[in-house]
Amino acid sequence: MTDRLYLADPYLARFEADVVAERRLGERTAVVLSRTAFYPAGGGQPADRGTLGVARVVDVQEVEGEILHALDGVLPAGNVTGVVDWPRRFDHMQQHHGQHLLSAAFEAKLGARTVSFHLGEDTCTIDLEISADRLGRETLLDVEQVANGYVWRDLAIEARELSPEELANLALRKEPTKGARVVIVRDPLASGGRGELPAGPGGLRPPALIDASPCGGTHPRRTGEVGAIAVLRGQKWGTGARVEFACGARVLVLLRRTSEGLGEVAGALRCAPAEAPEAAARLAADSLARKKDLDRLALALAQGDADRLAIQGGAITEELQVPGGDAAPYLRAVAQALVAKGRLALLGGRGGGRAYLCFARPKGAAPGAPDLGKLLQEAVAVVGGKGGGAPDLAQGGGSAPEKLGEALALARSKL
User: What's the number of domains the chain is made of?
Assistant: 3
- For residues 161 and 210, membership in a common domain is answered with yes
pLDDT, position 180 = 82
Residue 32 lies in a domain: yes
pLDDT, position 207 = 62
Last residue of a domain, one of 84, 111, 144: 84
- For residues 181 and 109, membership in a common domain is answered with yes
pLDDT, position 22 = 93
- For residues 116 and 250, membership in a common domain is answered with yes
Identify the DSSP state of 191. Answer: E
Find the CATH number of the domain harbouring 336.
3.10.310.40
- For residues 64 and 95, membership in a common domain is answered with no
Residue 268 lies in a domain: no
**How many other CB atoms are found less than 10 A from the CB of residue 313?**
7
- For residues 306 and 223, membership in a common domain is answered with no
Residue 275 lies in a domain: no
- For residues 117 and 201, membership in a common domain is answered with yes
- For residues 238 and 100, membership in a common domain is answered with yes
Residue 277 lies in a domain: no
pLDDT, position 325 = 64
Identify the DSSP state of 403. Answer: G
> Measured between alpha carbons, how far is residue 229 from residues 95, 100, 139, 186, 240 in Å?
9, 11, 15, 19, 22
Identify the DSSP state of 201. Answer: G
Residue 273 lies in a domain: no
Residue 264 lies in a domain: no
353: left (phi over 0), alpha (psi -120 to 50) or beta: left
Residue 283 lies in a domain: no
pLDDT, position 191 = 55
Instruction: Check: CB of residue 98 under 8 Å from CB of residue 247.
Output: yes
pLDDT, position 84 = 98
- For residues 10 and 76, membership in a common domain is answered with yes
Last residue of a domain, one of 256, 276, 304: 256
**How many other CB atoms are found less than 10 A from the CB of residue 69?**
31
Last residue of a domain, one of 84, 111, 145: 84
Query: pLDDT tens-digit profile of 308-349?
Result: 988 887 889 999 988 876 788 899 999 999 999 989 999 999
* Full domain range(s) for residue 111: 91-256
- For residues 134 and 171, membership in a common domain is answered with yes
Query: pLDDT tens-digit profile of 242-288?
Result: 999 999 999 999 999 988 898 888 888 888 988 888 888 888 888 88
- For residues 79 and 95, membership in a common domain is answered with no
Find the CATH number of the domain harbouring 42.
2.40.30.130
The phi, psi pair for 200, rounded to 5°, reads -90, -165
Spell out, as residue ranges, where the chain has pLDDT lower than 50: 192-205
Find the CATH number of the domain harbouring 183.
3.30.980.10
Residue 267 lies in a domain: no
- For residues 347 and 208, membership in a common domain is answered with no
Go through 371-403 and write b for each residue having 16 or more CB atoms within 10 A of its CB, e for each that does not: ebbebbbebbebbebebebebbbbbbbbeebeb
- For residues 145 and 201, membership in a common domain is answered with yes
